[in-house]
Chains A and B, each alone.
Chain A
Protein backbone atom coordinates (compact mmCIF):
# COMPACT_ATOMS: atom_id res chain seq x y z
CA UNK A 1 0.00 0.00 0.00
CA UNK A 2 1.72 3.16 -1.05
CA UNK A 3 -1.00 5.78 -1.17
CA UNK A 4 1.22 8.06 0.87
CA UNK A 5 4.61 7.04 -0.46
CA UNK A 6 6.12 9.79 -2.53
CA UNK A 7 6.09 8.14 -5.97
CA UNK A 8 6.31 11.54 -7.62
CA UNK A 9 7.08 14.95 -6.18
CA UNK A 10 3.94 16.70 -4.99
CA UNK A 11 2.97 19.58 -7.21
CA UNK A 12 2.98 22.58 -4.87
CA UNK A 13 0.46 24.38 -7.06
CA UNK A 14 -2.19 21.64 -7.01
CA UNK A 15 -3.32 19.69 -10.08
CA UNK A 16 -6.32 21.99 -10.48
CA UNK A 17 -6.37 25.69 -9.66
CA UNK A 18 -9.31 27.90 -10.63
CA UNK A 19 -9.09 31.63 -10.09
CA UNK A 20 -12.06 33.94 -10.46
CA UNK A 21 -13.72 31.69 -13.02
CA UNK A 22 -16.72 33.50 -14.47
CA UNK A 23 -19.10 32.24 -17.14
CA UNK A 24 -22.01 34.19 -18.63
CA UNK A 25 -24.77 33.02 -20.94
CA UNK A 26 -26.23 36.31 -22.15
CA UNK A 27 -27.54 38.05 -19.07
CA UNK A 28 -27.31 34.97 -16.89
CA UNK A 29 -24.26 34.47 -14.68
CA UNK A 30 -23.57 30.71 -14.74
CA UNK A 31 -20.36 30.90 -12.70
CA UNK A 32 -19.65 33.86 -10.45
CA UNK A 33 -15.91 34.28 -9.88
CA UNK A 34 -15.25 30.75 -8.63
CA UNK A 35 -11.83 30.05 -7.12
CA UNK A 36 -10.73 26.67 -5.82
CA UNK A 37 -7.67 24.45 -5.51
CA UNK A 38 -7.65 20.67 -5.72
CA UNK A 39 -4.76 19.28 -3.66
CA UNK A 40 -2.55 16.58 -5.13
CA UNK A 41 -3.74 13.01 -4.45
CA UNK A 42 -7.03 14.14 -3.01
CA UNK A 43 -10.51 13.07 -4.03
CA UNK A 44 -12.34 16.35 -4.55
CA UNK A 45 -16.12 16.28 -5.00
CA UNK A 46 -17.99 19.15 -6.61
CA UNK A 47 -21.68 19.09 -5.75
CA UNK A 48 -24.58 21.21 -6.87
CA UNK A 49 -28.15 20.96 -8.02
CA UNK A 50 -28.93 20.78 -11.72
CA UNK A 51 -28.21 24.15 -13.26
CA UNK A 52 -25.87 25.21 -10.44
CA UNK A 53 -22.97 25.56 -12.89
CA UNK A 54 -21.16 22.22 -12.52
CA UNK A 55 -21.12 21.42 -16.22
CA UNK A 56 -19.89 24.90 -17.17
CA UNK A 57 -17.12 24.56 -14.61
CA UNK A 58 -16.06 21.14 -15.93
CA UNK A 59 -16.07 22.40 -19.53
CA UNK A 60 -13.83 25.32 -18.58
CA UNK A 61 -11.65 22.99 -16.54
CA UNK A 62 -11.01 20.81 -19.59
CA UNK A 63 -10.47 23.73 -21.93
CA UNK A 64 -13.65 23.02 -23.87
CA UNK A 65 -15.16 26.38 -23.09
CA UNK A 66 -13.58 29.80 -22.67
CA UNK A 67 -14.68 31.59 -19.50
CA UNK A 68 -15.72 35.26 -19.59
CA UNK A 69 -13.08 35.87 -16.95
CA UNK A 70 -10.71 33.94 -14.74
CA UNK A 71 -7.88 31.48 -15.04
CA UNK A 72 -7.71 27.67 -15.14
CA UNK A 73 -4.48 25.90 -14.32
CA UNK A 74 -4.48 22.17 -14.98
CA UNK A 75 -1.39 20.23 -13.87
CA UNK A 76 0.36 23.55 -13.51
CA UNK A 77 -0.29 24.71 -17.07
CA UNK A 78 -2.75 26.95 -18.85
CA UNK A 79 -5.49 24.67 -20.12
CA UNK A 80 -6.63 27.09 -22.80
CA UNK A 81 -3.29 27.37 -24.58
CA UNK A 82 -1.74 23.95 -23.86
CA UNK A 83 -4.81 21.74 -23.88
CA UNK A 84 -3.57 18.90 -26.11
CA UNK A 85 -0.32 18.43 -24.18
CA UNK A 86 -2.04 18.46 -20.77
CA UNK A 87 -4.87 16.11 -21.62
CA UNK A 88 -2.43 13.23 -22.19
CA UNK A 89 -2.08 13.14 -18.39
CA UNK A 90 -5.77 13.61 -17.61
CA UNK A 91 -8.35 10.85 -17.68
CA UNK A 92 -11.83 12.15 -18.41
CA UNK A 93 -15.22 10.51 -17.98
CA UNK A 94 -17.71 12.99 -19.44
CA UNK A 95 -21.35 13.11 -18.43
CA UNK A 96 -22.36 12.01 -21.93
CA UNK A 97 -19.52 9.85 -23.27
CA UNK A 98 -19.26 10.49 -26.98
CA UNK A 99 -17.39 7.91 -29.06
CA UNK A 100 -17.70 6.53 -32.58
CA UNK A 101 -21.00 4.58 -32.35
CA UNK A 102 -20.00 1.91 -34.86
CA UNK A 103 -16.77 0.98 -33.05
CA UNK A 104 -16.65 -1.57 -30.24
CA UNK A 105 -15.00 -0.88 -26.89
CA UNK A 106 -12.08 -3.07 -27.95
CA UNK A 107 -11.63 -1.19 -31.23
CA UNK A 108 -11.78 2.17 -29.51
CA UNK A 109 -9.24 0.97 -26.95
CA UNK A 110 -6.87 -0.19 -29.73
CA UNK A 111 -7.20 3.21 -31.38
CA UNK A 112 -6.56 5.09 -28.12
CA UNK A 113 -3.54 2.93 -27.28
CA UNK A 114 -1.60 4.61 -30.11
CA UNK A 115 -2.27 8.08 -28.74
CA UNK A 116 -0.95 7.59 -25.21
CA UNK A 117 2.66 6.99 -24.15
CA UNK A 118 1.54 4.64 -21.32
CA UNK A 119 -1.30 2.29 -22.16
CA UNK A 120 -2.45 -0.65 -20.07
CA UNK A 121 -4.11 -2.95 -22.63
CA UNK A 122 -4.43 -5.85 -20.18
CA UNK A 123 -6.12 -3.53 -17.69
CA UNK A 124 -8.68 -2.56 -20.32
CA UNK A 125 -9.67 -6.17 -20.93
CA UNK A 126 -9.80 -6.92 -17.19
CA UNK A 127 -12.00 -3.91 -16.44
CA UNK A 128 -14.42 -4.54 -19.29
CA UNK A 129 -14.77 -8.06 -17.96
CA UNK A 130 -15.38 -6.88 -14.38
CA UNK A 131 -17.94 -4.37 -15.66
CA UNK A 132 -19.51 -7.11 -17.83
CA UNK A 133 -19.43 -4.77 -20.80
CA UNK A 134 -19.36 -6.73 -24.10
CA UNK A 135 -16.04 -5.78 -25.72
CA UNK A 136 -17.23 -6.43 -29.31
CA UNK A 137 -20.58 -4.62 -29.22
CA UNK A 138 -20.67 -1.30 -31.10
CA UNK A 139 -20.48 1.62 -28.67
CA UNK A 140 -23.74 3.08 -29.98
CA UNK A 141 -25.64 -0.03 -28.92
CA UNK A 142 -24.42 0.01 -25.29
CA UNK A 143 -26.61 1.30 -22.48
CA UNK A 144 -25.89 4.70 -20.91
CA UNK A 145 -24.33 3.00 -17.91
CA UNK A 146 -22.13 0.78 -20.07
CA UNK A 147 -20.96 3.78 -22.07
CA UNK A 148 -19.84 5.41 -18.85
CA UNK A 149 -18.05 2.24 -17.81
CA UNK A 150 -16.23 2.11 -21.16
CA UNK A 151 -15.24 5.75 -20.70
CA UNK A 152 -13.89 5.00 -17.20
CA UNK A 153 -12.03 1.95 -18.51
CA UNK A 154 -10.34 4.03 -21.20
CA UNK A 155 -9.65 6.90 -18.80
CA UNK A 156 -7.82 4.57 -16.39
CA UNK A 157 -5.84 2.79 -19.14
CA UNK A 158 -3.55 5.75 -19.74
CA UNK A 159 -2.46 5.84 -16.06
CA UNK A 160 -3.48 9.50 -15.73
CA UNK A 161 -2.16 11.85 -13.04
CA UNK A 162 -5.59 13.36 -12.74
CA UNK A 163 -9.05 11.87 -13.23
CA UNK A 164 -11.99 14.13 -14.01
CA UNK A 165 -15.31 12.32 -13.56
CA UNK A 166 -18.50 14.13 -14.48
CA UNK A 167 -21.27 12.27 -12.71
CA UNK A 168 -19.85 8.81 -13.53
CA UNK A 169 -22.64 6.87 -11.81
CA UNK A 170 -25.56 8.78 -13.33
CA UNK A 171 -28.08 6.30 -14.72
CA UNK A 172 -26.36 3.28 -13.18
CA UNK A 173 -28.17 0.77 -10.99
CA UNK A 174 -26.84 -0.07 -7.52
CA UNK A 175 -24.75 -3.03 -8.71
CA UNK A 176 -23.09 -1.14 -11.57
CA UNK A 177 -22.51 1.85 -9.30
CA UNK A 178 -20.68 -0.35 -6.82
CA UNK A 179 -18.53 -1.73 -9.64
CA UNK A 180 -17.56 1.80 -10.71
CA UNK A 181 -16.64 2.80 -7.16
CA UNK A 182 -14.62 -0.40 -6.75
CA UNK A 183 -12.56 0.41 -9.84
CA UNK A 184 -12.02 3.91 -8.55
CA UNK A 185 -10.98 2.62 -5.13
CA UNK A 186 -8.56 0.17 -6.73
CA UNK A 187 -7.03 2.98 -8.75
CA UNK A 188 -6.67 5.15 -5.63
CA UNK A 189 -5.05 2.27 -3.74
CA UNK A 190 -2.60 1.48 -6.53
CA UNK A 191 -1.61 4.91 -7.73
CA UNK A 192 -3.06 7.60 -5.49
CA UNK A 193 -4.38 9.46 -8.52
CA UNK A 194 -5.93 12.86 -7.91
CA UNK A 195 -9.68 12.70 -8.57
CA UNK A 196 -12.07 15.53 -9.37
CA UNK A 197 -15.63 14.21 -9.35
CA UNK A 198 -19.07 15.71 -9.75
CA UNK A 199 -21.92 13.50 -8.64
CA UNK A 200 -25.48 13.27 -7.49
CA UNK A 201 -24.64 10.06 -5.63
CA UNK A 202 -23.95 11.76 -2.32
CA UNK A 203 -23.79 8.55 -0.28
CA UNK A 204 -21.07 7.24 -2.58
CA UNK A 205 -19.18 10.52 -2.60
CA UNK A 206 -19.35 10.78 1.18
CA UNK A 207 -17.27 7.62 1.51
CA UNK A 208 -14.50 8.41 -0.92
CA UNK A 209 -14.13 12.20 -1.14
CA UNK A 210 -11.81 13.92 1.27
CA UNK A 211 -12.78 17.41 0.16
CA UNK A 212 -16.20 18.74 -0.84
CA UNK A 213 -17.29 21.88 -2.66
CA UNK A 214 -20.85 23.03 -3.26
CA UNK A 215 -22.00 25.28 -6.09
CA UNK A 216 -25.26 27.17 -5.65
CA UNK A 217 -26.51 29.27 -8.55
CA UNK A 218 -23.01 29.75 -9.89
CA UNK A 219 -21.50 30.61 -6.55
CA UNK A 220 -19.13 28.44 -4.55
CA UNK A 221 -20.82 28.33 -1.13
CA UNK A 222 -18.63 25.63 0.42
CA UNK A 223 -15.13 24.22 -0.06
CA UNK A 224 -13.94 22.14 2.85
CA UNK A 225 -12.42 18.91 4.15
CA UNK A 226 -15.09 16.22 4.54
CA UNK A 227 -14.16 15.48 8.16
CA UNK A 228 -14.38 19.12 9.18
CA UNK A 229 -17.69 19.52 7.41
CA UNK A 230 -19.26 16.52 9.12
CA UNK A 231 -17.86 17.69 12.43
CA UNK A 232 -19.54 21.09 12.46
CA UNK A 233 -23.04 20.37 11.07
CA UNK A 234 -25.84 19.11 13.31
CA UNK A 235 -29.60 18.82 13.18
CA UNK A 236 -31.43 20.12 16.24
CA UNK A 237 -34.94 18.85 16.81
CA UNK A 238 -37.10 20.92 19.13
CA UNK A 239 -40.36 19.29 20.24
CA UNK A 240 -43.40 21.59 20.18
CA UNK A 241 -43.06 22.21 23.93
CA UNK A 242 -39.69 23.89 23.39
CA UNK A 243 -39.51 27.24 21.68
CA UNK A 244 -35.97 27.71 20.50
CA UNK A 245 -34.42 31.12 20.14
CA UNK A 246 -33.58 30.49 16.51
CA UNK A 247 -31.78 33.80 15.86
CA UNK A 248 -29.18 32.91 18.46
CA UNK A 249 -28.49 29.59 16.74
CA UNK A 250 -28.01 31.13 13.29
CA UNK A 251 -29.36 28.03 11.50
CA UNK A 252 -28.66 27.43 7.80
CA UNK A 253 -32.03 25.73 7.36
CA UNK A 254 -35.21 25.61 9.38
CA UNK A 255 -38.18 23.35 8.85
CA UNK A 256 -41.49 23.17 10.61
CA UNK A 257 -42.46 19.58 11.36
CA UNK A 258 -45.73 18.20 12.65
CA UNK A 259 -44.10 17.56 16.03
CA UNK A 260 -42.05 20.72 16.34
CA UNK A 261 -39.20 22.56 14.73
CA UNK A 262 -36.07 21.26 13.08
CA UNK A 263 -33.01 23.43 12.51
CA UNK A 264 -29.68 22.65 10.90
CA UNK A 265 -26.74 24.54 12.35
CA UNK A 266 -23.41 24.91 10.60
CA UNK A 267 -21.32 25.54 13.70
CA UNK A 268 -22.45 23.15 16.38
CA UNK A 269 -21.38 23.96 19.90
CA UNK A 270 -22.49 21.43 22.50
CA UNK A 271 -21.72 23.64 25.48
CA UNK A 272 -24.08 26.36 24.35
CA UNK A 273 -27.09 24.17 23.67
CA UNK A 274 -27.44 21.76 26.51
CA UNK A 275 -28.31 18.11 25.97
CA UNK A 276 -31.73 16.41 25.73
CA UNK A 277 -31.39 15.29 29.36
CA UNK A 278 -31.27 18.94 30.37
CA UNK A 279 -34.33 19.76 28.29
CA UNK A 280 -32.32 20.83 25.25
CA UNK A 281 -33.04 19.78 21.69
CA UNK A 282 -32.37 16.33 20.27
CA UNK A 283 -29.05 16.59 18.43
CA UNK A 284 -28.07 14.36 15.51
CA UNK A 285 -25.22 14.24 13.04
CA UNK A 286 -26.01 14.69 9.36
CA UNK A 287 -25.13 12.68 6.30
CA UNK A 288 -23.50 14.54 3.43
CA UNK A 289 -26.80 14.34 1.59
CA UNK A 290 -28.60 16.04 4.47
CA UNK A 291 -25.95 18.75 4.69
CA UNK A 292 -26.27 19.29 0.93
CA UNK A 293 -30.05 19.63 1.15
CA UNK A 294 -29.73 22.06 4.05
CA UNK A 295 -27.35 24.21 2.00
CA UNK A 296 -29.11 24.11 -1.35
CA UNK A 297 -32.70 22.99 -0.76
CA UNK A 298 -35.93 24.92 -0.45
CA UNK A 299 -35.47 25.23 3.30
CA UNK A 300 -32.08 26.89 3.04
CA UNK A 301 -32.17 30.44 4.33
CA UNK A 302 -31.06 32.87 1.70
Chain B
Protein backbone atom coordinates (compact mmCIF):
# COMPACT_ATOMS: atom_id res chain seq x y z
CA UNK B 1 0.00 0.00 0.00
CA UNK B 2 1.57 3.30 -0.99
CA UNK B 3 2.04 5.65 1.93
CA UNK B 4 -0.68 8.24 2.50
CA UNK B 5 -2.99 7.31 -0.36
CA UNK B 6 -6.39 8.19 1.02
CA UNK B 7 -9.91 8.64 -0.24
CA UNK B 8 -11.78 11.63 1.12
CA UNK B 9 -15.58 11.49 0.80
CA UNK B 10 -15.69 15.25 1.39
CA UNK B 11 -13.61 15.83 -1.70
CA UNK B 12 -15.59 16.92 -4.75
CA UNK B 13 -13.14 15.11 -7.04
CA UNK B 14 -14.26 11.66 -8.21
CA UNK B 15 -12.53 8.77 -6.44
CA UNK B 16 -10.60 7.74 -9.57
CA UNK B 17 -9.16 11.23 -9.78
CA UNK B 18 -8.23 11.23 -6.09
CA UNK B 19 -6.31 8.00 -6.70
CA UNK B 20 -4.76 9.31 -9.91
CA UNK B 21 -3.60 12.55 -8.32
CA UNK B 22 -2.62 10.78 -5.10
CA UNK B 23 -0.26 8.46 -6.96
CA UNK B 24 1.06 11.34 -9.07
CA UNK B 25 1.73 13.27 -5.88
CA UNK B 26 3.57 10.36 -4.23
CA UNK B 27 5.70 9.88 -7.34
CA UNK B 28 6.50 13.59 -7.59
CA UNK B 29 7.54 13.66 -3.93
CA UNK B 30 9.79 10.66 -4.33
CA UNK B 31 7.73 8.55 -1.94
CA UNK B 32 7.21 6.11 -4.82
CA UNK B 33 10.56 5.97 -6.66
CA UNK B 34 10.93 4.77 -10.25
CA UNK B 35 10.71 1.02 -10.56
CA UNK B 36 8.60 0.58 -7.41
CA UNK B 37 5.80 -1.95 -7.79
CA UNK B 38 2.37 -0.46 -7.10
CA UNK B 39 -0.37 -2.66 -5.59
CA UNK B 40 -2.53 -4.68 -7.96
CA UNK B 41 -5.90 -3.19 -8.84
CA UNK B 42 -7.57 -5.85 -6.73
CA UNK B 43 -5.39 -5.24 -3.66
CA UNK B 44 -5.64 -1.46 -3.80
CA UNK B 45 -9.42 -1.67 -4.30
CA UNK B 46 -9.66 -3.84 -1.18
CA UNK B 47 -7.36 -1.56 0.81
CA UNK B 48 -9.31 1.55 -0.08
CA UNK B 49 -12.67 -0.30 -0.11
CA UNK B 50 -13.52 1.05 -3.54
CA UNK B 51 -14.80 -0.44 -6.77
CA UNK B 52 -11.91 -2.11 -8.67
CA UNK B 53 -13.13 -0.44 -11.87
CA UNK B 54 -12.37 2.90 -10.22
CA UNK B 55 -8.77 1.89 -9.41
CA UNK B 56 -8.45 0.42 -12.90
CA UNK B 57 -9.51 3.73 -14.44
CA UNK B 58 -6.95 5.66 -12.36
CA UNK B 59 -4.16 3.19 -13.23
CA UNK B 60 -5.07 3.30 -16.90
CA UNK B 61 -4.88 7.09 -16.96
CA UNK B 62 -1.57 7.02 -15.07
CA UNK B 63 -0.24 4.46 -17.55
CA UNK B 64 -1.39 6.56 -20.50
CA UNK B 65 0.31 9.58 -18.95
CA UNK B 66 3.55 7.61 -18.56
CA UNK B 67 3.59 7.75 -14.76
CA UNK B 68 3.06 4.01 -14.41
CA UNK B 69 4.13 1.22 -16.69
CA UNK B 70 2.74 -2.29 -17.02
CA UNK B 71 5.19 -5.16 -17.30
CA UNK B 72 3.34 -8.15 -18.66
CA UNK B 73 2.98 -10.90 -16.12
CA UNK B 74 4.82 -8.93 -13.47
CA UNK B 75 2.48 -6.14 -12.52
CA UNK B 76 2.40 -2.36 -12.58
CA UNK B 77 5.38 -0.20 -11.69
CA UNK B 78 6.35 3.44 -11.41
CA UNK B 79 7.86 4.40 -14.78
CA UNK B 80 11.59 5.06 -15.20
CA UNK B 81 11.16 8.75 -15.90
CA UNK B 82 7.61 9.72 -14.96
CA UNK B 83 6.57 13.05 -16.49
CA UNK B 84 5.54 15.90 -14.24
CA UNK B 85 1.90 16.97 -14.32
CA UNK B 86 1.00 19.62 -16.89
CA UNK B 87 1.44 23.25 -15.84
CA UNK B 88 -2.27 24.00 -15.92
CA UNK B 89 -3.03 20.90 -13.84
CA UNK B 90 -0.30 21.67 -11.34
CA UNK B 91 -1.20 25.32 -10.90
CA UNK B 92 -4.89 24.52 -10.65
CA UNK B 93 -4.34 22.04 -7.85
CA UNK B 94 -1.86 24.33 -6.15
CA UNK B 95 -4.35 27.18 -6.09
CA UNK B 96 -7.11 24.92 -4.76
CA UNK B 97 -5.00 23.85 -1.80
CA UNK B 98 -3.64 27.36 -1.30
CA UNK B 99 -7.17 28.70 -0.88
CA UNK B 100 -7.76 26.11 1.83
CA UNK B 101 -4.53 26.96 3.64
CA UNK B 102 -4.95 30.71 3.32
CA UNK B 103 -8.56 30.53 4.55
CA UNK B 104 -7.40 28.68 7.65
CA UNK B 105 -4.64 31.22 8.23
CA UNK B 106 -7.15 34.08 8.01
CA UNK B 107 -9.53 32.25 10.36
CA UNK B 108 -6.75 31.80 12.92
CA UNK B 109 -5.77 35.42 12.62
CA UNK B 110 -2.25 34.58 11.45
CA UNK B 111 -0.23 37.40 9.93
CA UNK B 112 0.88 37.30 6.32
CA UNK B 113 4.47 36.77 7.51
CA UNK B 114 3.55 33.88 9.80
CA UNK B 115 1.54 32.27 7.03
CA UNK B 116 4.31 32.47 4.47
CA UNK B 117 7.03 31.46 6.94
CA UNK B 118 5.10 28.37 8.04
CA UNK B 119 4.59 27.35 4.43
CA UNK B 120 8.25 27.92 3.71
CA UNK B 121 9.33 25.77 6.68
CA UNK B 122 7.04 22.91 5.72
CA UNK B 123 8.22 23.09 2.12
CA UNK B 124 11.85 22.94 3.24
CA UNK B 125 11.10 20.00 5.53
CA UNK B 126 9.53 18.02 2.68
CA UNK B 127 12.40 18.73 0.29
CA UNK B 128 15.12 17.86 2.80
CA UNK B 129 13.33 14.86 4.21
CA UNK B 130 13.61 13.09 0.81
CA UNK B 131 9.89 12.59 0.54
CA UNK B 132 9.43 11.55 4.13
CA UNK B 133 7.24 14.00 5.96
CA UNK B 134 5.17 14.11 9.08
CA UNK B 135 1.98 12.11 8.86
CA UNK B 136 3.46 9.88 6.18
CA UNK B 137 4.03 6.88 8.39
CA UNK B 138 1.93 3.70 8.04
Listed in ascending order, the chain A residues whose CB lies under 8 Å from chain B are 1, 3-4, 41, 43, 178, 181-182, 185-186, 188-190, 192, 203-204, 206-210, 226-227, 230-231, 234, 275-277, 284-288
Contact = CB atoms under 8 A, between A and B. Distances in A.
A4 B56 contact: yes
B50 interface: yes
Contact of A1 (B10, B50, B56): B56
Contacts of A208: 49-51
B14 A207 contact: no
A210 B42 CA distance: 17
Contacts of A4: 53, 56
Given A3-B53, A4-B53, A189 B42 contact: yes
B45 interface: yes
Interface SS of chain B: helix, strand, loop or mixed?
helix
B12 A207 contact: no
A177 to B, nearest CB: 10
B9 interface: yes
Contacts of A286: 10
B103 interface: yes
A208 B99 CA distance: 30
B56 A3 contact: yes
The bracket for how many chain B residues form the interface is 20 to 34
Given A1-B40, A275-B99, A204 B49 contact: yes
Contacts of A189: 41-42, 45, 52
B51 A207 contact: yes
Interface in B50-97: 50-54, 56
18 contacts: A1-B41, A1-B42, A43-B51, A182-B46, A182-B49, A185-B42, A186-B46, A188-B51, A189-B42, A207-B48, A207-B49, A207-B50, A208-B49, A210-B53, A227-B14, A230-B12, A277-B103, A285-B11
